[in-house]
Amino acid sequence: MPTADRDVVLVTGATSGLGLRLAEVLAAQGATVLAHGRDRARVRALTERLTAAGGTVRPYCADLSSLREVRTFARRVAEEQPRVDVLVNNAGVGPGPQDGARELSTDGHELRFAVGYLAPYVLTRALVPRLLRARAGRVVNVGSGAQVEIDFDDLTMAGFYNGWIAYGRAKLALASLTVDLAAELGPRGVAVSCVHPADLMPTPMVRRTGLAPRSTLDQGAEAVLRLIHGTGGADTQPGHYYNGLRPESPHPDVLRPDRRERLRRVTEELLAAEATAADICHLDP
C-alpha cells in the first residue's frame, strides 16, 4: 500500500522504451511505481529487478487494445490503491514500417487510435476519483508533434491507410483529451499536460519505423519527469502541450472547441457501442 510520504505513479507501457526508463528513475527516486505492461513475464521481470534494487513496484498486466481489459485494469488499480498521485499515459503503438498494413484492435477500432487514445480516455476517466485523492494529482499524456487532422467519417481508416497518419490521428486525439481534462480537473486540483518528449528516441517503436534515432531516452525522460514532478508550468500553458522542455502550441484542431466537442461525441458513441456489444456477447445462453 502507498504511504503518506510516497508518490504513487502509474506508468503504462513500462516494460520498454521511455516507459521503462521512467519506471527505473521513479523507483530510484522513491515513488511507488504501478508498472503496467502487456506481457506478464516482462512485467514480472521488471518488478523483480526494480524491487531487488530497493524500489517499490506493483505489477499490472493488461492489453490496452481491449477496452474490456482496460476497464478491468482500472478497477484493479482503484481497488488496490487508495490514491494515484500521477497517471502517465505512455503506452502506444507507433507508425510501424513504411508499408505496414492497417490493423484493428480487439474491439474493431483502428489499432493506433484504440491504444493511443481510447485506452487513455477510459483509463483516465475511471481513475479520476483516485487522482482527486492525491495531494497534487497529475495526468501526463505522452504525445507527439506528429499530430494529424482526424477524418471522422473514416475512423477505422478503411478507405485509406498510412501508419504515420494513423499514429498522428491518435496523438491529436490525445492532445485534445488533454485540453478537455485540464479544463475539467484543473479547478479540482489535478493538473493535466501533454508532451512530445523528444524526437525519435531509441525505442522499439522507433526501430520498427526504420528511422535512425535523433534523441536519447534520458532526454525524453527529462521532459516527462518535469511534468510528473510539477515543474513544467502545466497549469498555465495554453493547450497544456510541450515539445520537450518547451511550451508549444499543439495542432490547431486541438484548440478548436467544435473539433474537440465532435471528438468527445464520437468517442462516447464508440465506447457506448463497444460496451453494448460486450454485454450482448457475454449474456448467459
The catalytic residue positions are 167
CA distance 165 to 193: 23
Of 28, 31, 143, the residue nearest 84 (C-alpha): 31
> Long-range CB contacts (< 8 A, 24+ apart) of 178-184?
178/139, 178/141, 178/143, 178/239, 178/240, 178/241, 178/254, 179/239, 179/240, 179/254, 179/255, 179/260, 180/260, 180/264, 181/124, 181/139, 182/234, 182/240
List the Cα angle 143/177/117 in 5-degree steps: 60
Q: At what angle do helices 217-228 and 17-28 cross, to 10 degrees?
A: 60
* C-alpha R_g of the chain: 18
Q: Residues 62, 79: contact at Cβ < 8 Å?
A: no
CA distance 45 to 263: 38
Reading the block at residue 163, the C-alpha cell is 501508419
Decide the pairing of beta strands 241-243 and 191-196: parallel
CA distance 66 to 111: 10
CA distance 200 to 17: 11
**Residue owning grid cell 467544435:** 258
DSSP annotation of 98: T
